[in-house]
Amino acid sequence: MTQKTGDRLTHFDASGQAAMVDVSAKPETARTATARARISMLPATLALIQSGEAKKGDVLGVARLAGIMAAKRTADLIPLCHPLPISAVAVIFDSDAASSAIEIIATVRTTGRTGVEMEALTAASVAALTIYDMCKAVDRGMVVDGLRVTEKSGGASGDYAAP
Amino acid sequence: MTQKTGDRLTHFDASGQAAMVDVSAKPETARTATARARISMLPATLALIQSGEAKKGDVLGVARLAGIMAAKRTADLIPLCHPLPISAVAVIFDSDAASSAIEIIATVRTTGRTGVEMEALTAASVAALTIYDMCKAVDRGMVVDGLRVTEKSGGASGDYAAP
Amino acid sequence: MTQKTGDRLTHFDASGQAAMVDVSAKPETARTATARARISMLPATLALIQSGEAKKGDVLGVARLAGIMAAKRTADLIPLCHPLPISAVAVIFDSDAASSAIEIIATVRTTGRTGVEMEALTAASVAALTIYDMCKAVDRGMVVDGLRVTEKSGGASGDYAAP
Amino acid sequence: MTQKTGDRLTHFDASGQAAMVDVSAKPETARTATARARISMLPATLALIQSGEAKKGDVLGVARLAGIMAAKRTADLIPLCHPLPISAVAVIFDSDAASSAIEIIATVRTTGRTGVEMEALTAASVAALTIYDMCKAVDRGMVVDGLRVTEKSGGASGDYAAP
Amino acid sequence: MTQKTGDRLTHFDASGQAAMVDVSAKPETARTATARARISMLPATLALIQSGEAKKGDVLGVARLAGIMAAKRTADLIPLCHPLPISAVAVIFDSDAASSAIEIIATVRTTGRTGVEMEALTAASVAALTIYDMCKAVDRGMVVDGLRVTEKSGGASGDYAAP
Amino acid sequence: MTQKTGDRLTHFDASGQAAMVDVSAKPETARTATARARISMLPATLALIQSGEAKKGDVLGVARLAGIMAAKRTADLIPLCHPLPISAVAVIFDSDAASSAIEIIATVRTTGRTGVEMEALTAASVAALTIYDMCKAVDRGMVVDGLRVTEKSGGASGDYAAP
């Protein structure tokens, strides 16, 4: 259960085997992370989603819930991720008609011993996949790009903002 | 539980409310889907993963398992997705030193009433996020792009290959 | 794994111990079940939910999703319930201003060896509890009544409609 | 992630979208909640359950376990519910021959940033549904009523006892 | 997704990487598997469990339920295991005062494309661990031995009975 | 929710019914537990696993991940087990050619109100079952023995080392 530093990966012990790294000596601190993703689609699909929100259905409402719920399942999905008592999750969408895409912004907060980057990434990606699922009958070619951590604060490794 | 067709989204009933569409009248047929994603990283991170596979640890081995296991959890994550008895999952990685990225290819097969695109997408995205998780201590700026369905066969809507 | 009949409970074997009853000899048939529940609240809470749907938020949209997703988790929650490949779920709400209550109607369909009453009941109750969760800050006294199976079709035991 | 107060629902952010409300600023305090439900059945069904407890099987023992285990799954089922480290769960039954019903009382305790009303309600409702599942072969008409929070202590909003 | 035969392990593809083997070409047949385990304890612990069943509590009743429910979670726990629609599970206990141990016998049945050995082993081991959990306060030294498949029928590889 | 002491089992309340014991009055302390198990197999199977690690596949790598992930699911599997924020998990293997067996050593750490013996036992047993799953095509007769807690530290009941 030795934790590596420097240029070694932290999820392997001294003999190179996978392990959940020991965070028991770390203090519980407030931590926040934001992840983003962008799903591109046909202009007609974007129009359908936007009109749907108004009166025919709520693709983004379903995707938002899916992202929030997925954040709570992160430690079940990512093998070496620590279970964390999440204290807040928000998933926001920003439609961009010019590029015919929807930007997904997921923010997660906790008071814990490790960060919540994986929770934010999981929320953003599951929200994106839910949009795909709900629209795939009319647009199979949707693509998710730019799934990444954009901001992180709290914890020993310091704050981070993507360049 | 009415299923929409044409330009209407299939996951909403006649009054525009979300529902799990009724597939009970569809026959059980053999279905396969392949999804891909690409995770870009620093050249040093890619080198570390590649050397790690040889002797210090197995980032891709962990990511492969995470993707396979996530495929089985798809219906738990994607709200309106039908549970399916998956009959095969494979996750393959292709390292590209030129672009300092790893391509992830996930293929899922079933005999069922709906397709397995969501299972393949879930496998690919969770495999990508697991790579992020295992390397984030040395490279916070990794980005996942090109998450999409590239092939699909079986089912009434016919075969599909991404352009 | 003997299945009892007549006035004996079907979930206990010959020696009176709990077991998941053997359904392997039953044919796979189309089955549908509908369950209902009613959640009573203060008139102001009902008004808030109704206005919320229009412009401030979507309590019923969240509750609908929760019910649909819970139906897929039924076999995880009810100890002796068989896992089933659900082929459709719909959750509908009917607001009754006169009695200051919301009626929840959940319908589930499958092609399988056992019925889907438990899936419909689970969907209805989790939808009701989600309404409670989202409104409890303004109304702690909400009560769920009338949670029951109202219709069932398919299977050897014949169709059923609540009196 | 703004939390609403007064007559606004707390699970929606300023723009009316669902979010898991931010509890990170709340202190961890001891919290207890009790929920109840009542399942009505045919007198013969109640007699069967009561005799079953003595020697033929243990419907209530199975229902008790189901309720306890469900309390631990609450955050997986209720979309905007915070995950909580439950420190105690008890599920008690009270048979009422006069009204041919079983009263279910579920109590949950935690030391956390939010209350455990949802955990208690989930335990009570899953225990009730498990009784239904185990007896439905002999009594399809069972009905669950009176599912509600009856007591709550701890937390900023103060103690509560149902009238 | 190539399946190995002979002296090669079936869960790795041609290049030696883990994969869920493709069972889509196999027919659905009736399959049964039985697994056993034995948990040894202090004589006083065994006496406590036996008296407990009579009047102070039901360790074996809780363990039986835990085993049955775990069988349904097998594909979530064993990475390359296929999800299967289980049609029956029974967990039986046999107390052996002479050796101060409890024998656990778990039988699982399905109609599917792969066998249910893993489901039976999972049921037996989780039942054993539940006995440990419920008695560890009085006996930390309990040991589980002889966890194995004892019988298997159905499927192309033929019937099997442990020697 | 009364907790028994002395020769009474701690998971039953005063009336002998199962309950999750109340740990809310216990302090959060650092706790570690180690469990072991041994899986015996044909010499040819052990040779295959060992060669497999080198170049044809990684049975132990898959089993290690399965054990680590299962530790996080313990409270879902063991009915009366408290959910715990695990802070470290390691699973180590020790091949013994002389007895043709693999020893599995699982260590889990937390800062919490209860111990992590069940988490360590769950990790060890699921790792063992995963080895069985991956090798059962060539060796159905593998047996798991000696599944037990070997060390425990932290908590009011003091340290423990198996004799």
Spatial contact of C121 and C146, defined as CB atoms under 8 Å apart: no
Q: Is F119 annotated as a binding-site member?
A: yes
CA angle A5, A7, A9 (to 5 degrees): 65
CA distance F113 to D112: 13
For residue C34, which amino acid is it?
Answer: T
A97/chain B closest Cα distance in angstroms: 19
CB contact under 8 Å between A19 and F90, yes or no, is yes
Residue D18 pLDDT class (50, 70, 90 cuts): confident
CA distance D68 to B83: 26
CB contact under 8 Å between C79 and D130, yes or no, is yes
- Three-state SS string over D86-106 comes to EEEEEEEEEEECCCCEEEEEE
Q: Per-residue pLDDT tens for E100-128?
A: 999 999 999 999 899 999 999 999 999 99
Is F37 a residue whose pLDDT tops 90? Answer: yes
Q: Is A119 annotated as a binding-site member?
A: yes
By a Cβ cutoff of 8 Å, what residues of chain D touch chain E?
58, 61-62, 65-66, 69
**Minimum mean pLDDT range among E1-5, E6-10, E150-154, F30-34:** E1-5
Spatial contact of B56 and B49, defined as CB atoms under 8 Å apart: no
| DSSP per position, C57-88 | --HHHHHHHHHHHHHHTHHHHSTTPPP--EEE
Q: Per-residue pLDDT tens for E39-75?
A: 999 999 999 998 865 444 589 999 999 999 999 999 9
Q: How many CB pairs under 8 A join A and F?
A: 55
D105/chain F closest Cα distance in angstroms: 12
Beta bridge pairs of residue D107: D34, D90
Which residues in E lie closer than 8 A to residue F17 (C-beta atoms)?
A: 57
Which residues in B lie closer than 8 A to residue A122 (C-beta atoms)?
A: 129
Quick one: CA dihedral B11, B12, B13, B17, positive or negative?
Answer: positive
Integer distance in angstroms from the first to the last C-alpha of chain D? 33
CB contact under 8 Å between A19 and F111, yes or no, is no
**Do the interacting molecules here have an ipTM over 0.85?**
yes
Q: How many CB pairs under 8 A join B and E?
A: 55
CA distance A64 to A90: 8
CA distance B75 to D73: 17
Q: Is F141 exposed, middle or buried (0-12, 13-18, 19+ CB in 10 A)?
A: middle
Beta bridge pairs of residue E149: E35
CB contact under 8 Å between F129 and E122, yes or no, is yes
* Cut 0.80: pTM above it: yes
Provide φ and ψ at E76, rounded to 5°.
-80, -25
CA distance E55 to F63: 41
CB contact under 8 Å between B58 and F62, yes or no, is no
CB atoms within 10 A of CB D137: 18
Chain F interface mutation, best of E136, E142, E149, E153, highest count of F Cβ atoms under 10 Å: E136
Which has the higher per-residue pLDDT, D4 or A93?
A93
CB atoms within 10 A of CB C98: 6
pLDDT at residue E7, rounded to an integer: 54
Residue C158 pLDDT class (50, 70, 90 cuts): confident
CA distance F138 to E5: 9
Which of F61, F66, F69 lies closest to B58 in CB terms? F61
Catalytic (active-site) positions of D: 133
pLDDT at residue C14, rounded to an integer: 66
Chain D interface mutation, best of F10, F20, F28, highest count of D Cβ atoms under 10 Å: F20
CB contact under 8 Å between D143 and C148, yes or no, is yes
Q: Per-residue pLDDT tens for A88-107?
A: 999 999 999 999 999 999 99
Q: Per-residue pLDDT tens for F88-113?
A: 999 999 999 999 999 999 999 999 89
Provide φ and ψ at B23, rounded to 5°.
-110, 15
CA distance C150 to B104: 48
Percent with pLDDT over 70 in chain D: 90
User: What is the separation of C-alpha D149 from the centre of its chain, rounded to a whole number of angstroms?
Assistant: 8
CA distance C141 to D152: 12
pLDDT at residue A3, rounded to an integer: 38
DSSP state of A28: P
Q: Which of C133, C139, C145, C159 is catalytic?
A: C133
pLDDT at residue A51, rounded to an integer: 83
Which subunits sit against A, judged by 3+ Cβ pairs under 8 A?
Answer: B, C, D, F
Chain A interface mutation, best of B9, B31, B102, highest count of A Cβ atoms under 10 Å: B9
Q: Which residues of chain A have pLDDT under 50?
A: 1-6, 54-56
Tokens read off for E136: 């560890």
CA distance F12 to D90: 10
CA distance D65 to A91: 35
DSSP state of E17: -
Beta bridge pairs of residue F105: F36, F92
pLDDT at residue B3, rounded to an integer: 38
Which residues in D lie closer than 8 A to residue E61 (C-beta atoms)?
A: 58, 61-62
By a Cβ cutoff of 8 Å, what residues of chain D touch chain A?
1, 13, 17-24, 75-76, 79-80, 82-85, 112-113
CB contact under 8 Å between B30 and E20, yes or no, is no
CA distances from E118 to E33, E89, F100, F139 (A): 9, 12, 22, 14
Beta bridge pairs of residue F91: F106
For range E12-29, the mean pLDDT:
84
Quick one: CA dihedral A142, A146, A150, A155, positive or negative?
Answer: positive
Residue given tokens 């335990």 in the structure block: D123
Which residues in E lie closer than 8 A to residue C18 (C-beta atoms)?
A: 61, 64-65, 68
- Three-state SS string over D4-61 comes to CCCCCCCCECCCCCECECCCCCCCCEEEEEEEEEEEECCHHHHHHHHHHHHHHCCHHH
Residue pLDDT tens, chain B, 163 long: 333 444 556 777 767 788 898 998 898 899 999 999 999 999 999 999 988 654 445 899 999 999 999 999 999 999 999 999 999 999 999 999 999 999 999 999 999 899 999 999 999 999 999 999 999 999 999 999 999 999 999 987 789 999 8
Chain D interface mutation, best of A62, A82, A87, highest count of D Cβ atoms under 10 Å: A87
For residue F41, which amino acid is it?
Answer: M
pLDDT at residue C20, rounded to an integer: 92
CA neighbor of E6 nearest in space, from F52, F139, F138:
F138
pLDDT at residue D58, rounded to an integer: 87
Is F56 a residue whose pLDDT tops 80? Answer: no
Is E4 a residue whose pLDDT tops 60? Answer: no
CB contact under 8 Å between B80 and C68, yes or no, is yes
Spatial contact of B116 and B109, defined as CB atoms under 8 Å apart: yes
Interaxial angle between packed helices E117-135 and F117-135, expressed in degrees from 0 to 180 and rounded to the nearest 10: 160
User: What is the separation of C-alpha D7 from the centre of its chain, rounded to a whole number of angstroms?
Assistant: 25
| DSSP per position, F21-34 | ---TTSPPEEEEEE
CA distances from F67 to B135, D57, F20 (A): 21, 35, 24
CA distances from B97 to A103, B48, D18, D25 (A): 29, 12, 42, 46
D54/chain F closest Cα distance in angstroms: 14
Q: Per-residue pLDDT tens for C76-100?
A: 999 999 999 999 999 999 999 999 9
Residue given tokens 């080392």 in the structure block: F161
pLDDT at residue D7, rounded to an integer: 54
Give whichever of A146-150, C48-52, D21-25, E85-89 has the largest mean pLDDT: A146-150
Maximum Cα–Cα distance for chain D, whole Å?
58
Checking DSSP bridges between strand A86-96 and strand A101-112, what pairing results, if any? antiparallel
Which residues in D lie closer than 8 A to residue C70 (C-beta atoms)?
A: 77
**CB environment F103-135: b (16+ within 10 A), e (fewer):** bbbbbbbbbbbbbbbbbbbbbbbbbbbbbbbbb
Average pLDDT of chain D?
Answer: 89
Percent with pLDDT over 70 in chain A: 90
Which has the higher per-residue pLDDT, A140 or E11?
A140
Interaxial angle between packed helices A43-51 and A117-135, expressed in degrees from 0 to 180 and rounded to the nearest 10: 100
Residue C2 pLDDT class (50, 70, 90 cuts): very low
Known binding residues of D for substrate: 80-82, 118-119
Q: Is C128 exposed, middle or buried (0-12, 13-18, 19+ CB in 10 A)?
A: buried
Q: Per-residue pLDDT tens for D104-152?
A: 999 999 998 999 999 999 999 999 999 999 999 999 999 999 999 999 9
Q: Is A29 exposed, middle or buried (0-12, 13-18, 19+ CB in 10 A)?
A: middle
Tokens read off for F152: 């425990």
pLDDT at residue A163, rounded to an integer: 85
Which of F56, F142, F143 lies closest to E12 in CB terms? F56
- Among the residues of chain A, which ranges form H helices? 43-51, 59-72, 74-77, 117-135
pLDDT at residue E16, rounded to an integer: 75
- Where are the extended beta strands (E) located within chain F? 29-40, 86-96, 101-112, 143-153, 160-161
State the Cα torsion F118-F124-F126-F127 to the nearest 10°.
Answer: 160
pLDDT at residue F115, rounded to an integer: 94
Quick one: CA dihedral B123, B125, B129, B135, positive or negative?
Answer: positive
Q: How many CA atoms within 13 Å lie on the side-chain side of E147?
A: 33
| DSSP per position, A32-43 | EEEEEEEEE--H
Element (H, E) at A146: strand A143-153
Is D6 a residue whose pLDDT tops 50? Answer: no
Average pLDDT of chain C?
Answer: 89
Tokens read off for C132: 């409670």
For residue E13, which amino acid is it?
Answer: D
F30/chain D closest Cα distance in angstroms: 16
Which subunits sit against C, judged by 3+ Cβ pairs under 8 A?
Answer: A, B, D, E
Q: Is D135 helix (H, G, I), strand (E, B) or coil?
A: helix
Is C5 a residue whose pLDDT tops 90? Answer: no
CB atoms within 10 A of CB C156: 8
pLDDT at residue D8, rounded to an integer: 59
Residue of chain C nearest A55, judged by CA positions: C54
CA distance F55 to F69: 25
Spatial contact of D64 and D75, defined as CB atoms under 8 Å apart: no
Provide φ and ψ at F78, rounded to 5°.
-95, 110
F57/chain B closest Cα distance in angstroms: 10
CA distance E38 to E94: 9
Which of C10, C79, C128 lies closest to D65 in CB terms? C79
pLDDT at residue B163, rounded to an integer: 85
Which residues in A lie closer than 8 A to residue F29 (C-beta atoms)?
A: none
Element (H, E) at A94: strand A86-96
pLDDT at residue C53, rounded to an integer: 53
Is F5 a residue whose pLDDT tops 50? Answer: no
Residue C8 pLDDT class (50, 70, 90 cuts): low
CB contact under 8 Å between C9 and D55, yes or no, is no
CA distance F31 to F41: 33
CA distance A10 to E30: 46
Which has the higher per-residue pLDDT, D37 or B159?
D37
